[in-house]
Amino acid sequence: MTRQAPPRWLQRALVFLLAPRDRETVAGDLLEEYREEQAPRLGTLRANLWYLRQSVSFLSIRSAGGPPVKAALTWVSVATAGAGIWLAVMENILKHAGYGVRTAVAAAIVAEALGTLLFLVLDSRPVFRLIVLAGAAALGALGISAIARNVSGPHFEGFVLIVGCLLVAQAVMTFAVVLRAHYPKAV
């Protein structure tokens, strides 16, 4: 006998959103509830919508600072550090006017990216957490400023736009991860 079940892609999406520890147990709980209560009572379509709603609830609660965002933040931090190093190297090769200040800014970008990576590994002390948050705020502001100047300026540079977006993404994700991990609000 074929049992009713939510669409396979939806089940996979739920599993993706769950922490490894919960993948089997939570997916099993929801499948059981779907089969024994929701589908017989609501019909397939509405039961699927129920399953979708429950899955989305993990997106909003877990992924805001949960494993998927942490993983993404790790890669964004690596990319940001790489971009900062590349900027510093190029500034020192080209040596345009004001390159010293821009090199210092690039070094700060690298420091914040490496600090975020360290934070992700160590999940450490409140002082470090505040430094990472302050750095993220500065990176976000720098990113927004870079994007605005690039879009409104006379010379559009794709690389600057990419770096600006990276900085903003890193800032937003850092806030999500840090606040979720250390200041969880009462649900």
Partner 1 sequence: MLGAFEQAVLLAVWKLADDAYGRGVLRGVQSALDREVAAGAVYATLDRLEQKNLIASRLEEGTPVRGGRVRRYYRVTAAGVKALNESKAALEQMWRGARWPLESNA
Interface residues with partner 1 (CB under 8 A) are: 3, 22, 24-33, 35-36, 53-54, 56-62, 184, 186-187
Of 36 and 157, nearer to partner 1 (C-beta) is 36
Q: How many residues comprise the chain?
A: 187
Query: At its nearest, how many Å lie between partner 1 and the CB of residue 61?
Result: 4
CB of 56 to partner 1, least distance (A): 8
Nearer to partner 1, 42 or 72 (CB): 42
CB of 3 to partner 1, least distance (A): 7
Nearest to partner 1 of 19, 104 (CB atom)? 19
Residue 19: name the closest of 61, 81, 76 by CA.
61
Q: Tell the smallest beta-carbon distance from residue 167 to partner 1 (Å).
A: 30
Instruction: Name which of 5 and 118 has its Cβ closer to partner 1.
Output: 5
d(CA 157, CA 120): 31
The answer to whether 17 and 59 have CB atoms below 8 angstroms apart is: yes
> How far is 58 from 15, CA to CA, in rounded Å?
10
Reduced to 3 states, what is the DSSP secondary structure of residue 97?
coil
In the complex with partner 1, the residue whose CB is nearer, 53 or 155, is 53
Q: Provide the minimum distance between the beta carbon of 55 and partner 1 in the complex, in angstroms, as a whole number.
A: 8
Say which residues have a Cβ less than 8 Å from residue 146's Cβ, sequence separation at least 6: 160, 161, 163, 164, 167
Question: Residue 140: which residues within 8 A CB-CB, separation 6 or more?
Answer: 167, 168, 170, 171, 172
